[in-house]
Amino acid sequence: MTMTKIIQVKDDLSVIDEAAALLAQGGLVAFPTETVYGLGANVLDEEAVRRIFQAKGRPQDNPLIVHVCNREMLCRVVKEIPQKADALIRAFWPGPLTIILEKSNWIPVSVTAGLATVAVRMPSHPAALRLIEKSGVPIAAPSANISGTPSTTRAAHVIADLTGKVDYIIDGGMCQVGLESTVIDLTGEEPQILRPGGVSFEELQEVLGKVAYEPALQDSRQVPKSPGMKYRHYAPKAELMLVEPKQRESIPTIFAEKKTLGKKTGLLCCSDETYQADVVINCGSSAAIYAQRLFDSLRRMDEEGVDFILAELPEDEGGIVPALKNRMLKAAGGRIVNCTDIQTKHI
């Protein structure tokens, strides 16, 4: 067991500096980003990187994202910065975009799970940038949750998952985006989105001209390029099913059946209709608010001891919606009300 210290960040970012110093020397530090909380270690310290996998219970073949705070650091992480990467960096960094590039020899293969490519991103949360800057090294960080569970968007979630496993937890409040960064691969012929996230398809298209979703996102029977996308993810302890807006009239019958079986029911909704669920969480009137609250809501349902959750799918399209649907579909194992087949589309 590690003694975990919690640091509250308000206006004075210098409270982070002791955690940054320990991180540089091999410590594990959970920190806020604008997407979700990250579990960070010094990229160059193979023992610390090994501890990340151990703390999360993460499969060894799933590579980590390398977080940098400036261009100089980026240059040391990758072999070269192609023109398309440069355009994306100018448009979206610091921010919720991860770019896959050829890795430099400086980055140990333990971070990239043996791949010749590296995922790199510059987060925009001031506490994250300060942590990287003060530690003086790139930070390898997956999301700061136990593998398979909903990602963490508040310090309280990280405290629940990782106390005793990390040296510091930096509390920087609630994450703004609430879903992970978009992962885009620039090592192939054409730019491919491996994971939808905080930067939208439309925004990427505007900068790159041509961009496509990786085929496995449209059909989960294909093997995904991003090792992490093949694992069960984001799942609450409760059984979760999704419901399309046009199928809402089925909700009362489903809840009635579950209640007969003695199950405690939960509803994640986008409207005021509650369908007499035992626990109701309103996920707001826009997809952006839903995205921000999704993981927090799934975790709250578990805390309330809910056995069965119905979550309404968002009505809009575009923007953050493919990312939101992707996380919801994965968390629900592809199960949608009145769809006899498990969904194979994951956006």
Q: Which of Mg ion, ligand TXA, none binds 100 (CB below 5-8 Å, type-dependent)? A: ligand TXA
Closest CA to 181 of 146, 228, 222: 228
Q: Which of Mg ion, ligand TXA, none binds 98 (CB below 5-8 Å, type-dependent)? A: ligand TXA
Site for ligand TXA in 262-321 (CB under 6 A): none
Judged by CB under 6 A, the stretch of 10-18, 28-36, 68-76, 200-208 that binds ligand TXA is: 28-36
Q: Which of ligand TXA, Mg ion, none binds 38 (CB below 5-8 Å, type-dependent)? A: ligand TXA
Q: Are 126 and 210 in contact (CB under 8 A)?
A: no
Site for ligand TXA in 30-69 (CB under 6 A): 33, 35-36, 38, 62-65
List contacts with Mg ion (CB under 5 A).
143
For residue 311, what is the enclosing H or E element?
Answer: strand 308-312
Query: What is the pairing mode between strands 192-195 and 182-185?
Result: antiparallel
Q: In angstroms, rounded to a whole number, what is the distance separating the alpha carbons of residues 157 and 201?
A: 29
Between residues 198 and 314, which has the closer beta carbon with respect to ligand TXA? Answer: 198
Q: Kindly provide the residue ranges of all beta strands, DSSP E only, lying in 19-121, ordered along the sequence.
A: 29-31, 38-42, 65-67, 97-102, 117-121
| Shortest distance (Å) from residue 245 CB to ligand TXA | 28
Judged by CB under 6 A, the stretch of 3-11, 13-21, 96-104, 302-310 that binds ligand TXA is: 96-104
| Shortest distance (Å) from residue 168 CB to ligand TXA | 15
Question: Counting beta carbons within 10 angstroms of the beta carbon of residue 90, is it exposed (0 to 12), middle (13 to 18) or buried (19 or more)?
Answer: exposed
Q: Are 44 and 61 in contact (CB under 8 A)?
A: no
Q: In angstroms, rounded to a whole number, what is the distance separating the alpha carbons of residues 347 and 335?
A: 13
- Cβ atoms within 10 Å of 334's Cβ, excluding its own: 17
Q: Which of ligand TXA, Mg ion, none binds 124 (CB below 5-8 Å, type-dependent)? A: none
Tokens 């578990």 found at: 302
Among 124, 226, 265, 297, binds ligand TXA (CB under 6 A): 226
Site for ligand TXA in 110-129 (CB under 6 A): 112, 115, 117-119, 121, 123
When asked if residue 180 is in the footprint of ligand TXA (CB under 6 A), the reply is yes
Q: Which of ligand TXA, Mg ion, none binds 194 (CB below 5-8 Å, type-dependent)? A: ligand TXA
Q: In 117-126, which positions are buried (b, 16+ CB within 10 angstroms) versus exposed (e)?
A: bbbbbbbbbb
Binding residues vs ligand TXA (CB under 6 A): 33, 35-36, 38, 62-65, 96, 98, 100, 112, 115, 117-119, 121, 123, 141-143, 180-181, 183, 194-195, 225-229
